[in-house]
């Protein structure tokens, strides 16, 4: 951790352009809750918004690259019919 308390490995590193922003986290998660519905597309969009909000949540350790990988996984699972096997 740096002297400012930010984890330089996570999404809260001030040099990565994603400083902690609780208002942005709440806003993105509120939108995610609003768009989440019964369709797989609305659930996907909500998941993408929620994962994006993690960039601004100081309690989360993530990066844009990690979120892209996660979103690709979400889309691939949906394309293959879900996790039910």
The predicted-structure confidence for 8-56, as pLDDT tens digits, reads as follows 444 445 456 789 999 999 999 999 999 999 998 899 899 999 999 999 9
Contact 31, 49 (CB under 8 A): yes
Q: Where are the domains of the chain?
A: 14-79
Q: Centre a 10 Å sphere on the Cβ of residue 43 and count the other Cβ atoms it contains.
A: 16
DSSP code for 56:
G
What's the pLDDT tens digit per position in 58-74? 999 999 999 999 989 88
DSSP, collapsed to helix, strand or coil, labels residue 66 as helix
Cβ-based burial of 34 (10 A; exposed 0-12, middle 13-18, buried ≥19): exposed
Q: What is the pTM of this model?
A: 0.71
DSSP, collapsed to helix, strand or coil, labels residue 77 as helix
């Amino acid at each position: 951790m740096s002297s400012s308390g930010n984890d330089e490995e996570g999404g809260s590193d001030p040099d990565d352009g994603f400083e902690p922003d609780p208002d942005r986290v709440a806003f993105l998660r509120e939108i995610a809750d609003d768009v989440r519905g019964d369709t797989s597309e609305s659930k996907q969009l909500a998941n993408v918004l929620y994962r994006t909000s993690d960039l601004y949540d100081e309690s989360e350790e993530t990066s844009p690259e990690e979120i892209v990988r996660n979103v690709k996984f979400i889309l691939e699972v949906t394309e293959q019919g879900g996790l039910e096997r």
